[in-house]
Structure 1
């Protein structure tokens, strides 16, 4: 039976979640750990997403994981049994980005939901996290295709394991829309407030911010918030927010869902942080490094400029496994290309300035010699030879 449910708001394969993943995987030791690919099974680059995730866990987290491929419910019998056997053996089960409605359509009325509850540790992020509640947001259909707001029935596994009738919403603090409200997994306040009225009276919305994980420990009946954001418990427009580092009893979720009066939360118990603070995207990293680069370039500190460019290249590589669809990666690459161009321009400008500088120094030295100011002439000669130039004097006529 499941002992630990981990809900991630986003960033499941980024540097921000490395430390939490390591601590979570310690719970299962060397037992089988697998990635279930259904949520993104419809995408043409599904193989690439799986490969990047596997590489992330191996290189960054230090753990080998397998891939269970269940991209459609109508798999050939042998493939289906092979996948189900791997799921039965797994003690750590991970699923992440994609479409919640696609995943639900290919999990419902199959053995998959039952096997999810048998895994010792269940780590569901982004789209997959939406499927664990009683109702799910059809994100693509509403945000991309423009369908009217509505809920779809989800697996209700969170209630089965915890007793809490939750509706789980990742990407809770999303800000990709800029002035357009894309919080609450791209719904915005207006649509969420409308849709919330259609939920059963006892339902509680469990909102997880981006680059944040909520660890629900069933044996200890406790909940821990780690990462860069917080956990929000919302019911009928009223919210309680638990920031990162908070620990709370599982019954705090149940009390909210049972209709208890919403009040300010008690001070959270201190907890050792599982995630290091840092940027929430490679785009933020690139912008911060670009500012440092500009300062170093203005100071003509070429070595620092090169070091910053290499640091950005490393960051782009570190964030390469991020499956979140955004322009951040291309932006970071553009910033890196810009750094290289600016370094080249600085070198060209310096190179073009050399002839004029030499002409001026030579003229000054010749004038010094003509004035028989040999001390100044020698000083200018030494400066030129020290810079790597050869000076050959002619006899004064």
Structure 2
């Protein structure tokens, strides 16, 4: 592949979610539809027992959503495998190479001093091919790497691991931190790839003065066009260049030169040449809604349809939510919001079941053709002085849960609501 096609896309998270489809397609467009090799490198999650399922899900996502047939490089899950040479050959020859979720430290252990690591260095050194690294794989690209599992899950003291440092071929001396704006902790701080502010400050003190923290938010990509020497921030969040708690943040839509990005990482002012970051994304893409947004909207549509006695619209809202959950469940790493959306869907299904018993039409509307002629008959009976028959008619209606109210302005009536009937 020619140098003009060289791209490195760094994704903070959501690499196989609906929100990132347009970004993947934009990178894959550099292939120009010609026959090419697209390869998945599964090392970061190679230790997991469901590694084959994760790979199949990812390949299915790229085939279905991006239109890109992807093969898995064999023998590169970690450790010694007889197919490793064939897998390495695929990696070295890949026109498009992807790696994503898992453990940064596990990936480093099998890449740093191995042939795969050298292949990644060669891709960036020669600026060849399209490379998409996300989440754990992205964390390995810099001079230093966050051992997130060891710190966040195991409780080891905050520290860095030596990274692959392939970004040094682009003049970027950084510690790359994905999941930069993570909010999964709720009441406790899980920003900065689950480190939180306090631990990140501690770790910043361990970095050499010439190394910056380069943060990429979740569902966000920094796309480095290596031929045009420019960096574009795309997706939902921001890119952050940070030095000892002092940050410069660039929103989605920002385009800046690689030279300016290098200077920012070296703490050199660039405002005279980059003024100011572009706030809007001019790529023409429509960013997909998050699962939480879709779930909230479907719930609102369902309630509106229920109030309007529209069974078809109720079912439509439930089906839309189910399809969206299915799309998001294909994400190889993130399932935040999926359980909540499924709970909303289950509630919808229960209410649809109740509606199948009681109906959704307004009871007043369905009862009117029967009740109003009987009320007119009751009025005539009362006018004729036949109160016993009129009262018997009222009692018969009451037995059917039709309430009669005689007021100075005339007779009113009410039928039970569907909820009351279901109860």
Normalised TM-score (structure 2): 0.80
Q: Please list every run of 5 or more consecutive structure 2 residues that lacks an aligned counterpart in the other structure.
A: 385-423
Deviation for aligned residue 1:240: 0.7
Inter-partner Cα distance in structure 1 for 2:316 and 2:349: 12
- Contact 1:316-1:329 at 8 Å conserved across structures: yes
State which of 209, 222, 229 in structure 2 corresponds to 1:221.
229
SS in 2 for 1:234: strand
State which of 250, 259, 264 in structure 2 corresponds to 1:251.
259
Show the counterpart of 1:273. Answer: 283
- Contact 1:11-1:17 at 8 Å conserved across structures: yes
Give me the CA root mean square deviation: 2.7
State which of 74, 99, 118 in structure 2 corresponds to 1:95.
99
Show the counterpart of 1:33. Answer: 38
State which of 66, 70, 75 in structure 1 corresponds to 2:71.
66
Q: Please list every run of 5 or more consecutive structure 1 residues that lacks an aligned counterpart in the other structure.
A: 374-397
SS in 1 for 2:277: coil
Q: Give the direction of change, closer, same or farther, for the CA distance of 1:352–1:20 in structure 2 (3 Å limit).
A: closer
Q: Give the direction of change, closer, same or farther, for the CA distance of 1:205–1:275 in structure 2 (3 Å limit).
A: farther
Inter-partner Cα distance in structure 1 for 2:72 and 2:285: 25
Deviation for aligned residue 1:371: 8.9
Show the counterpart of 1:300. Answer: 309
Deviation for aligned residue 1:319: 1.6
Show the counterpart of 1:167. Answer: 175
State which of 292, 304, 311 in structure 1 corresponds to 2:320.
311
Normalised TM-score (structure 1): 0.85
CA deviation string 1:331-377 (max 9, x = no partner): 222211110111222333348997x959856854764897999xxxx
1:49 counterpart = 2:54 = yes
Deviation for aligned residue 1:268: 2.6
Inter-partner Cα distance in structure 2 for 1:263 and 1:184: 26
- Contact 1:226-1:275 at 8 Å conserved across structures: no
- Contact 1:58-1:64 at 8 Å conserved across structures: yes
State which of 77, 81, 86 in structure 2 corresponds to 1:75.
81
